[in-house]
Chains A and B, each alone.
Chain A
């Protein structure tokens, strides 16, 4: 055996530096992984700890009280204001639900069109087109929504709805423009890409044999969609909707520009109000230290909401395997 010469063996044995490098590298990337974990934990702990005086003073009234009067005191941690965040929580829920109700059927329709009806070579470009909507920054949606969509489309639509169904409490006037409704419509456009992306992937994951079996039994295309594809994709659709809902809850700038920033909690969709994120955004720049604590408390509550919604959504979508796709991130 003269094949292994002394020299090759020493090369294979490597150097001391090389031996050290391996565990070092592993430690480095593991630290990076753990850092992501620690970062989220630190974010939660720090903001909760900072805003604790507010929660301590208000207790559950933070979520049930309707009066929000930020205190002006500078001798923290004494809290002087009254912090009832219900109007903001309500605004967040109402705008997100409007967005979801509008976006869900459209997202399902687009996903069905792309996966089932569109010519094969159009499919990719169609999904790109819809997902490009996700790349448009939210400030641009806000500007466009406020200065173009609101006067050109949303306001006339509101006036029409008010004229037809004005007696119904949801569409009660007066119609000003800036409202839950206007924010909800722009939100719907903004969450459409992520919902379409996820629902499309869920539809695409359906095994072709299932669909073909149904076709073989003589089902029409709509019957295959309605009775085979949609039922088996149900949990994915719910998961995609919840991810969209999570986005809508946390969306800030566009909503802040369209919701009207009023602390009144109105039952009509045409009233102006405020959402949690929008209130933080709009009042932060003029806030004294105590107000900042109040805003941070809203932030923590907002985080908890989106966290719960996102975890539920991921659990639902995860059952079908982890989804990829640009808009899904």
Chain B
């Protein structure tokens, strides 16, 4: 004889009755949602605040004269940041080819030739670590080697450009590597199958296919490089008038002029510092936004592929 014994429920509770703990759990959940939303708002405030304050304070300073005149003594009105604009322009014009050329070449090595190799993973790791190297340390290194050391070229545009290029390099390598990895292998195989050589495949198929992505990564690196201040003080040192000399003469830059004007007590100079900050923020944000737009278009294109 078999009996099916089910334990008899001692007290019957309807399923409709909600456990009081459930109500508390739901309340906690709702409360935390509010807290998280508030955190999001709190985090967004500094961004709007910094953009607003810089725009508000700097707007009145921006004029044609601000770009076409050199600095005047801090306590005087008028004058501009011409040597800063020219300096930053020259430094970036030298730094971009160095960092982008070398960076994309290194990324090509990592993706096209370095699969599964120890050396490549080491390079990859070093690149990652280099993104965290303080820029002031890069400035000290360039100072030690190029400004006073082995190859004595003195303070100036070239030394500053090399320092900025070193700061940009790991960013270019990392982003270029990610972009090259996104190029589908079928493209490479098709090209190789048609009889193209490896280098031909890379330069004529892989790099063009990844071009928008490479541009995005490089531009983000440019935005970062253009805003760097610390290494420039150690390599460019600053100048009172505009100079176009690349080696042997001190060079100024926009971030450095902002710093010089910000830490002195005269309101006229401080006003110009805000103007410089607005110009710098405008330049870096413009580059960043263009880079993002290219990236978004590139992503849509890839989805269509």
Contact = CB atoms under 8 A, between A and B. Distances in A.
A280 B133 CA distance: 15
B120 to A, nearest CB: 7
Nearest to A13: B195
A110 B54 CA distance: 25
A40 B129 contact: yes
Contacts of A110: 39-40, 43
Given A117-B37, A130-B43, A130-B44, A35 B102 contact: yes
Interface string B217-229: 0001001101111
Contacts of B129: 40, 307, 310-311, 314
Contacts of B42: 106
Interface of A is mostly: helix
A210 interface: no
Contacts of A36: 102, 106, 123, 126-127, 130, 169-170, 173
A295 B139 CA distance: 12
Given A25-B202, A135-B223, A40 B130 contact: yes
Interface residues of B, number: 95
Interface stretch (A54-62, A80-88, A139-147, A262-270): A139-147
B274 A143 contact: yes
Contact of B229 (A18, A22, A107, A138): A138
Contact of B259 (A126, A142, A277): A142
A309 B132 contact: yes
Interface string B109-145: 1101110000110110111111111111110110111
Contacts of B57: 147
B262 A220 contact: no
Contact of B285 (A26, A114, A132, A253): A132
Contacts, number: 272
A21 interface: yes
Given A220-B29, A310-B129, A109 B36 contact: yes
B198 interface: yes
A41 B9 CA distance: 74
Interface residues of A, number: 95
A324 B175 CA distance: 8
Contacts of A295: 140
A209 interface: no
Given A29-B108, A136-B50, A329-B171, A113 B227 contact: no
A139 B25 contact: no
Interface stretch (A65-73, A169-177, A221-229): A221-229
A131 B167 CA distance: 19
B262 A221 contact: no
A144 to B, nearest CB: 5
A115 B234 CA distance: 42
A189 B48 CA distance: 12
A303 B137 contact: yes
B39 A302 contact: no
Q: Which of A24, A253, A292 has the most CB of B within 10 A?
A: A253
B158 interface: no
A51 to B, nearest CB: 9
A47 B137 CA distance: 9
A121 B109 CA distance: 37
Contact of B144 (A33, A246, A296): A296
Given A133-B47, A222-B33, A302 B274 contact: no
Contact of B230 (A32, A243, A281): A281
Given A33-B109, A37-B126, A135-B288, A220 B25 contact: yes
13 contacts: A25-B203, A29-B105, A106-B43, A135-B224, A135-B285, A136-B50, A143-B277, A144-B53, A147-B57, A247-B132, A252-B134, A314-B128, A324-B178
Closest 8 CB pairs between A and B?
A137-B227, A250-B134, A109-B39, A25-B199, A32-B105, A220-B29, A310-B132, A33-B109
